[in-house]
Amino acid sequence: MKVKTKKGIRDMLAVWMEDDAVKMIDQRYLPEKLKLFIAKDPDDIHKAIKNMVVRGAPAIGVTAAYGMAQASISWFDIGKAEKTIKSARPTAYDLFHAVDHMRVKIKEGVDPLEAAHDYALSVINKCMAIGEHGSRLIENGYRILTHCNAGALATVDYGTALSPIRVAHDDGKDIFVYVDETRPRLQGARLTAWELFNEDIPHTVIVDNAAGHYMQRGEIDIVIVGTDRIAANGDIANKIGTYEKAVVAKENNVPFYVAAPVTTFDPNTENGMAIPIEERPSEEVLNLNEKRVVSPGSTAKNPAFDVTPAKYITGYITEKGVYSTDDVVIMFD
């Protein structure tokens, strides 16, 4: 991804491994500060994922893969490393897929660092392909709505939902992006807008509740979001608020697409209601900039994700092409 600095534009990955350490952009400090987090063992990997130093299903998967490689290289107990890393967050399927993939590779005697690098490269290549396929859905002059952050920060490079937008922009299409702020952690306002700024893609940030207003007025032509897990019937789990956007998009005849690599499909989960939904600390809702904004006697609930039923989804943009819900069900049949 492009990152504008005082010394010029840098080309960076969200996560990489260097000198037996897993390094990643600490997303908690963006956009105010570009800071790195260095993980030296599986416990650090667990903390990085759980505390959202790194986030986004593909990036979490790559971080987990590097964590398993790191554990193997340092002779850390692989079984313990697996449990530690998998326990970080419950919803993103890529986390479990990556750990299982690395466990098999390590058991087969494959060099763990090489296996992790290959896994990371495969994620990047898939995101590039998602961009190529998805950009064909974006016509010149389109106004696009996103929710949360599904860009390079969430996927190591390129992104899922943002990848088609980047490709369309690079192809010279005149596009404009509406960025949902995405409460309570503001991943849209803090991260997606930061990525679009660095890529010089025209955009504006809107409050979460404004999306329906702009759809109703015909000012949004397409919605593209990422996802953390896709069930066998095509239901998805994505950042809280996605379900509402999908319902409103359907009501206003706005196409609603989900962008994700095939590794995000979970054939073992029958439908969206079977996807575990992470409940995050209530302080994220009760406080703003570490200052309480809710009355002392009030409490808060904070689900990190919601489930969007397949009936509201126009299609799935993957590295293999764009699929309908029926195509997805056939894939798992």
Distance CA 46, CA 103 (A): 17
228 is catalytic: yes
Closest CA to 214 of 187, 177, 239: 177
Verify cis geometry, omega within 30 degrees of 0, for the bond prior to 112: no
- Give the three-state DSSP class for 34: coil
Longest Cα–Cα distance in the chain: 59
Distance CA 71, CA 307 (A): 34
Find tokens 């009936």 and name the residue.
311
Catalytic residue among 228, 235, 266, 306: 228
Distance CA 179, CA 192 (A): 7
Distance CA 243, CA 255 (A): 14
How many other C-beta atoms can be found within 10 angstroms of the C-beta atom of residue 197? 13
Give the tokens for residue 59: 């990036």
- Look at the alpha carbons of 161, 165, 171, 173 in this order and tell me if their dihedral is positive or negative: positive
Distance CA 106, CA 111 (A): 7
Distance CA 226, CA 56 (A): 9
Find tokens 């409940």 and name the residue.
279
Give the 3-state secondary structure percentages of the chain, helix then strand then coil, rounded to 5: 40, 20, 40
Closest CA to 258 of 311, 218, 198: 311
Enzyme catalytic residues = 228
